[in-house]
Amino acid sequence: MDTLVLLGSFFVLMMVGMPVAYALGLSALVGALWIELPLDAVMIQLAAGVNKFSLLAIPFFVLAGAIMAEGGMAKRLVDFAGVLVGFIRGGLSLVNIMASTFFGAISGSSVADTASIGSVLIPEMERKGYPRDFAAAVTVSGSVQAILIPPSHNAVIYSLAAGGTVSIAALFMAGVVPGLLMGLTLAALCLVIARKENYPKGEVIPLKQALKISVDALWGLMTMVIILGGILSGVFTANESASIAVLWAFFVTMFVYRDYKWRDLPKLVHRTVKTVTVVMILIGFAACFGYLMTLMQIPMKVTTFFTTISDNPLVILGLINIMLLVLGCLMDMSPLILILTPILLPVVKMIGVDPVHFGMIMMVNLGIGLITPPVGTVLFVGAAVSKLKIGVVTKAMTPFFVALFIVLLMVTYIPSLSLWLPRLMGL
């Protein structure tokens, strides 16, 4: 009955349209009153949930991504990707995927990726003879890479939800191979479609111009070196690399590229603060909710439920994938990570799955949820940027969903894809 009261109140509040963060907080209060837990204990968990040093990485990564997204970095990455693959048949679709790979390694945000890359490439692809719905589908599906490729702030949230027992650096490294695999899979699909539909080839960029474009893009690409190089070398912690990435992004945007106006900077910081505030409220209330779940032994009950169905790890992982895919269509990514990680981590640990590997499984699943109706926030952004209806974009994305599901199966059942690089780095 305790579980029914806690989870039931949460879903009822969600169904009446209450924001997820407040639904978590109020349902935690309802659960506490039901089991006669002093409300002081809930407040202590709320404060403890946000009083974590590792959380400082989130606002810094969000701010660095926002500065780069609005400061001309997207166009330069698109131009650089065009130098590398733009001359192939269907080359602009490959440019789209590659630009998303580069930009994801800077912003860590699928929404920012879709908005910035899409605003540049969707009109350009249509102008070159590609269908607008195909251009939107490529942009939206390619942006899922940002969930995996470091620096993903969702990896920081997963580490927090796992009780800080999973290294952020290990999660960053674990996302590299799955993220690149996703990009290569989508690129291969684009090549097949381009050949079948006879999409146009691009032009080979002259060497002198290509060198200029490459040098221009190098300033932004250095952000990846700062973030990953600093963490892996031990010079920076994740928090320190995030803060230095902000300084570098600010320097490149305002003093090198100089496409962004100083008077617009306070508005950008204001938008970033609003975004981070929502995330921090969500984290605090999720800590209360997770505390109540622990007291009510919900993780243990879920573990028992899965083990009564099967003791085969492959079957249990398959069932978890189905559950995550369904829930990912109904809720946003961050709250699901905060809610489900404390529940599912004991299950996967019991069947011998590494927590870092499970983090990647969860990221791919919920990343697909971001581009799936009815609550796919990235899908909505892609539809808005392309000025198409949700249904039109979703239909065009059908082959891309198939490709992403193949990547999900590979990440789920081939652990070395996620664990090889962290182990190589000794993380």
Q: Decide if pLDDT at 361 tops 90.
A: yes
Residue-level pLDDT at 380 = 84
The whole-angstrom separation of Cα 61 and Cα 238 is 10
Residue-level pLDDT at 203 = 75
Q: Do the Cβ atoms of 97 and 190 come closer than 8 Å?
A: yes
Note the pLDDT tens digit of each residue in 59-78.
887 787 778 777 777 778 77
Q: Decide if pLDDT at 375 tops 80.
A: no
Q: Decide if pLDDT at 165 tops 80.
A: yes
Note the pLDDT tens digit of each residue in 281-333.
888 888 888 888 878 877 777 777 887 888 888 899 999 998 888 888 877 78
Please provide the average confidence, as pLDDT, over all residues in the chain: 83
Look at the chain and report how many structural domains it folds into. 1
**Among 105-114, 131-140, 177-186, 251-260, the least confident range:** 105-114
**Among 60-74, 198-212, 370-384, the least confident range:** 60-74
> What DSSP designation does 256 have?
I
Residue-level pLDDT at 419 = 93
Strand, helix or coil at 201? strand
Residue-level pLDDT at 152 = 80
Residue-level pLDDT at 412 = 94
Residue-level pLDDT at 334 = 81
Average pLDDT, stretch 5-26?
A: 82
Average pLDDT, stretch 145-159?
A: 85
- Reported residue count of the chain is 427
Range of the domain at 345: 2-424
* Alpha-carbon separation of residue 216 from 78, 124, 222, 259, 311 (angstroms): 12, 20, 11, 13, 54
Percent of the chain whose predicted confidence (pLDDT) is above 70: 99
The token duo for 50 is 């946000």
Q: Decide if pLDDT at 351 tops 80.
A: yes
The whole-angstrom separation of Cα 131 and Cα 127 is 9
